[in-house]
Chains A and B, each alone.
Chain A
Amino acid sequence: MKIANKLGASVLALIVATGGAFADDAFWAEAAKPYQGVVLHGVTESTPPSNYVKDVLAPEFEAKTGIKVEIETTSWDQMYDKAIKDMEAGTGIYDMVYIEQDIIYAYLSRDFLVDTTQLLKDHPELKAPTYDEANFTTFANYFKGDKGDLFGIPMEAFIKVYLYRTDLFNDPEVQAAFKEKTGKDLKPATTHEEYTEIADFFTQWGKDHDEQLWGTTAQAHTGHPASWYEFFESVAPTYGVYSWGIDAGNNYAASVANGGTMNSDEAKAAMKWWLHLRDVAPPESNQSTWTEVATTFAAGRAAQGLVYGENAAWVASDETKSRVVGNVGVALPPLSDGVLADAESGKGYIGYYDGGAFGLPVTSKNKEASMLFLEYIAQNEVQPDWAVAGSRITNTATYDDPKVQDLDKKLNGYFTMLKDQGRLFAGAPAYPFHAQVREATAPIFYQILTGAIDPDTGLDQMAAKAEEELTALGYRK
């Protein structure tokens, strides 16, 4: 909703002041002629980038084309449920649905979405001169089908990065204490051992100085899938366990016995490492989802942590929400040996590249008008302000915009990292059964977190459960 996006409002003012005079205005008016009076309906999660679409881009588009766009924003699980019900039942309520990167494979497997490349080929009159699939960053590849056609127009993209407090890391007193204790210089960790050392050090520091400070964040909620995601998308890969430890090429094996890696030694080591971090993290961590982790970091309660990129901007720059403005450093997550090489060669990845796109359901009754809107929001011209409002970048050209480079400085190079090292990160594995396997194994996972099951046994059970679920779903033969 509107309020969530104060940045958006100021950006709107900016656009009204400067904009509106692009040479291609004529195209929009002309192309939209047959669709006067059409009202497009979209559903999305309520996030700053989505709110920007709703509050800024949609009104702009309406002014140029006369096509009204209504965007429904709702919570994460509601959004999926509503989009799926609509497309499954063929109701045709929505002309645009938000597709998070991890559900695209499920939607593609069900042929829920329109092939936008093909649609534009069939209707050349809809093709805007300013729209080009080549404008997108490589993130768009996640939304391509077998033939390379695009099924979703990227609208946000982030990487889950290692954030640390530059004020603490650069404090001479802290540095001296760290040196004395460990014999090392205090700098962002590159290995798991270093990370643990720093985490232990700061948690102890907080205790000794009676400060509300701990060594790390942990997204370790004991009843919410956020913790499951942190482990499988952000922690396990740094130990070389990719794609949740499930081997799609090997009959979807999950257990080591069958050729999977979900309960491999690396996975078990990763789990123990992460559980230790959880123990030295602030006490709220076992109630923390992605939301609270960012808030914990923003409140200055953690010296370092893995935080979703969509939060990087506000944590580093919004004083009404963050106490650590100007003190946020960005680095790559700590890694095991060989993981970086895996990532460079494309065999593995070092962390989570997430984001989403807008797709056009085949059940939509206004595909053409909807396509126009999707092209509109994909233009290079509308990207920079959107990037500033939502710390998301989907088009290559956006990196070079002065506004974005300005913000990049404030964020200590987050955008630069997204640009240069983004390729080392990866989205969710190409599984159409994403939520199904997660929910089947999550109860065991939560029990590992509460200590009801030890990590080794727990991961063994999870691997078995994952295979059982995959068999029941018919993927594993």
Chain B
Amino acid sequence: MKTKTPWLFILFWLFVSFLTLFPIYWLFVISVKPAVELFSTPEVLLTKVYWQNYIDVLNDATLRRYMMNSLIISSCNALLCTLLGFLACYALSRFDLGGKESIFFWTITNRMAPPAVFLLPLFLLLTQVYKIGDFSLADTRTGMILVYCTFNLPFAIWTLRPTVDGIPKELDEAAYVDGASPFKVITEVVFPLARPGLAVTLILTWVFAWNEYLLAATLTNFNARTLTTGLSEYVTTTGTEWGIMAAISVFTLIPALIVFSLVQRHIVAGLTFGAVKG
């Protein structure tokens, strides 16, 4: 509503951004220092830049494969969870299902389990139970996509529920009156209105899958290893390769940023109300 540029406001954001960025800047600093310089009095500003870590990372074919696995697993998982979560929320919101509030609460309990102890049953299930002939889900991307649903699907349902509930029922009722099919109502009436919520859910489920470490470390061996498990390979008894780890992390920011910018537009595609002020 105001027309003049809010300088104070921008100053505030610059400050917040500084706090946010400093650790990331430091990550970059670590990535462009030779290991020998890490254990000495720190300098805030970089004086010289050492690119060898990046060259090493770029030349490593294994890492590219891990990056690909990470991208595929987290993207498929995020899409799957957002879609299923959206449908589940629509069901919970629009249908008079018996015990639906209990089901809603139950879904989230799947995310609460302390992960360390669930690794053993998941390992046993994937290697020995959920298999057909010689094909088991262990060490496959499909397996990881499904396993990640245990924490991402509840998350999707919980973040989407307020959004779907907030879309007035009158809208889809009107569409039904006009003779639309449930499919049409979901895709053409509810979906567009839920877009900001869906975008946020997609981003965050993607992030959770992208960053997951413990499950991937235990349940993958050769074929479906992800970048985070690759990182742990640099923590060794003869020296943690901080520089390489940092360089890989800087690289992981790139695909993440692309995914973010693709999805973020849809958050703003929602309306912004000048009236809502803090």
Q: In the complex they form, do A and B come into direct contact, defined as C-beta atoms under 8 angstroms apart?
A: yes
Is B221's CB within 8 Å of the partner chain A?
yes
| Best-buried of A47, A73, A75 by chain B (most CB within 10 Å) | A75
Please give, as numbers and ranges, the residues of chain B lying within 8 Å of A290 by CB-CB distance: 237
Within 8 A of B (CB), among A1-23: 1-4
Are A45 and B217 touching (Cβ within 8 A)?
no
Are B237 and A76 touching (Cβ within 8 A)?
yes
Stretch of B38-46, B151-159, B177-185, B264-272 that contacts chain A = B38-46
Please give, as numbers and ranges, the residues of chain A lying within 8 Å of B123 by CB-CB distance: 85, 89
Closest to A72 in B: B221
Q: Report the Cα distance A108→B60, complex, angstroms.
A: 37
Q: A295-B35, A299-B36 are in contact. Are A78 and B232 (CB under 8 A)?
A: yes
Q: Report the Cα distance A48→B232, complex, angstroms.
A: 15
Are B221 and A291 touching (Cβ within 8 A)?
no
Please give, as numbers and ranges, the residues of chain B lying within 8 Å of A308 by CB-CB distance: 237-238
Closest to A312 in B: B238
Please give, as numbers and ranges, the residues of chain B lying within 8 Å of A43 by CB-CB distance: 221
Q: A41-B222, A78-B217 are in contact. Are A291 and B240 (CB under 8 A)?
A: yes
Is A322's CB within 8 Å of the partner chain B?
yes
Within 8 A of A (CB), among B216-250: 217-218, 221-222, 225, 229-230, 232-241, 244
Within 8 A of B (CB), among A47-78: 47-48, 70, 72-76, 78
1/0 contact string of A315-351 vs chain B (CB within 8 Å): 0000111110000000000000000000000000000
Please give, as numbers and ranges, the residues of chain A lying within 8 Å of B40 by CB-CB distance: 212, 299, 301
Contact of B230 among A1, A45, A48 (CB under 8 A): A1
Contact of B39 among A4, A296, A310 (CB under 8 A): A296
Are B236 and A47 touching (Cβ within 8 A)?
yes
Q: Report the Cα distance A74→B226, complex, angstroms.
A: 12
Are A47 and B237 touching (Cβ within 8 A)?
yes
Are B239 and A321 touching (Cβ within 8 A)?
yes
Q: A4-B236, A45-B237, A291-B240 are in contact. Are A320 and B36 (CB under 8 A)?
A: yes
Contact of A314 among B39, B52, B217, B239 (CB under 8 A): B239
Please give, as numbers and ranges, the residues of chain B lying within 8 Å of A311 by CB-CB distance: 238-239
Are B120 and A85 touching (Cβ within 8 A)?
yes
Q: What's the nearest-Cβ distance from chain A to residue B168, in Å? A: 50
Is B109's CB within 8 Å of the partner chain A?
no
Contact of B221 among A4, A41, A46 (CB under 8 A): A41
Please give, as numbers and ranges, the residues of chain A lying within 8 Å of B236 by CB-CB distance: 4, 45-47, 75-76, 291
Q: A89-B123, A93-B127, A310-B237 are in contact. Are A3 and B39 (CB under 8 A)?
A: no
Q: A91-B127, A212-B41, A295-B239 are in contact. Are A3 and B232 (CB under 8 A)?
A: no
Are B39 and A294 touching (Cβ within 8 A)?
no
Are B238 and A314 touching (Cβ within 8 A)?
yes
Are B232 and A4 touching (Cβ within 8 A)?
no
Are A89 and B127 touching (Cβ within 8 A)?
yes
Closest to B235 in A: A75
1/0 contact string of B76-91 vs chain A (CB within 8 Å): 0000000000000000
Please give, as numbers and ranges, the residues of chain A lying within 8 Å of B230 by CB-CB distance: 1
Are A4 and B36 touching (Cβ within 8 A)?
no
Q: Report the Cα distance A4→B240, complex, angstroms.
A: 10
Are B36 and A323 touching (Cβ within 8 A)?
yes
Is B143's CB within 8 Å of the partner chain A?
no
Are A70 and B238 touching (Cβ within 8 A)?
no
Are B127 and A299 touching (Cβ within 8 A)?
no
Interface residue total, chain A, C-beta cutoff 8 A: 43
Please give, as numbers and ranges, the residues of chain B lying within 8 Å of A180 by CB-CB distance: none
| Best-buried of A45, A47, A48, A295 by chain B (most CB within 10 Å) | A295
Is B14's CB within 8 Å of the partner chain A?
no
Q: What's the nearest-Cβ distance from chain B to residue A161, in Å? A: 14
Please give, as numbers and ranges, the residues of chain A lying within 8 Å of B52 by CB-CB distance: 320
Q: What's the nearest-Cβ distance from chain B to residue A41, in Å? A: 7
Q: What's the nearest-Cβ distance from chain B to residue A248, in Å? A: 27
Q: What's the nearest-Cβ distance from chain A to residue B117, in Å? A: 12
Is A81's CB within 8 Å of the partner chain B?
yes
Please give, as numbers and ranges, the residues of chain B lying within 8 Å of A159 by CB-CB distance: none
Q: Report the Cα distance A74→B230, complex, angstroms.
A: 8
Contact of A91 among B38, B60, B128, B239 (CB under 8 A): B128
1/0 contact string of B9-40 vs chain A (CB within 8 Å): 00000000000000000000000001110111
Q: What's the nearest-Cβ distance from chain B to residue A54, in Å? A: 10
Closest to A297 in B: B39
Are A4 and B241 touching (Cβ within 8 A)?
yes
Q: A3-B57, A3-B244 are in contact. Are A321 and B217 (CB under 8 A)?
A: no
1/0 contact string of B206-218 vs chain A (CB within 8 Å): 0000000000011
Are B35 and A321 touching (Cβ within 8 A)?
yes
Closest to A308 in B: B237
Closest to A81 in B: B218
Are A1 and B233 touching (Cβ within 8 A)?
yes
Is A82's CB within 8 Å of the partner chain B?
yes
1/0 contact string of A429-457 vs chain B (CB within 8 Å): 00000000000000000000000000000
Q: Report the Cα distance A85→B221, complex, angstroms.
A: 13
Q: What's the nearest-Cβ distance from chain B to residue A99, in Å? A: 15
Q: Report the Cα distance A320→B35, complex, angstroms.
A: 7
Is B124's CB within 8 Å of the partner chain A?
yes
Is B63's CB within 8 Å of the partner chain A?
yes
Is B56's CB within 8 Å of the partner chain A?
yes
Closest to B34 in A: A320
Q: Report the Cα distance A323→B40, complex, angstroms.
A: 11
Q: Report the Cα distance A292→B239, complex, angstroms.
A: 7
Are A3 and B120 touching (Cβ within 8 A)?
no
Is A298's CB within 8 Å of the partner chain B?
yes
Q: A1-B230, A48-B238, A91-B128 are in contact. Are A74 and B217 (CB under 8 A)?
A: yes
| Best-buried of A1, A41, A76, A78 by chain B (most CB within 10 Å) | A1
Please give, as numbers and ranges, the residues of chain B lying within 8 Å of A41 by CB-CB distance: 221-222
Since A89-B123, A291-B236 are in contact, a sample of 14 more A-B pairs with Cβ atoms closer than 8 Å, ordered by chain A residue number, is: A1-B230, A1-B233, A2-B62, A46-B233, A70-B222, A74-B217, A75-B235, A78-B217, A82-B218, A93-B138, A93-B221, A212-B41, A321-B36, A321-B239
Give the interface of A toward B (CB within 8 A): 1-4, 41, 43, 45-48, 70, 72-76, 78, 81-82, 85, 89, 91, 93, 212, 284, 290-292, 294-296, 298-299, 301, 308, 310-311, 314, 319-323
Give the interface of B toward A (CB within 8 A): 34-36, 38-41, 52, 56-57, 59-60, 62-63, 119-120, 123-124, 127-128, 138-139, 217-218, 221-222, 225, 229-230, 232-241, 244
A sample of 12 inter-chain contacts (CB < 8 A) reads A3-B244, A41-B222, A78-B217, A85-B119, A89-B127, A89-B128, A291-B236, A291-B240, A299-B36, A301-B40, A311-B239, A320-B35
Closest A-B pairs by Cβ, 4 of them: A299-B39, A3-B56, A75-B232, A46-B233
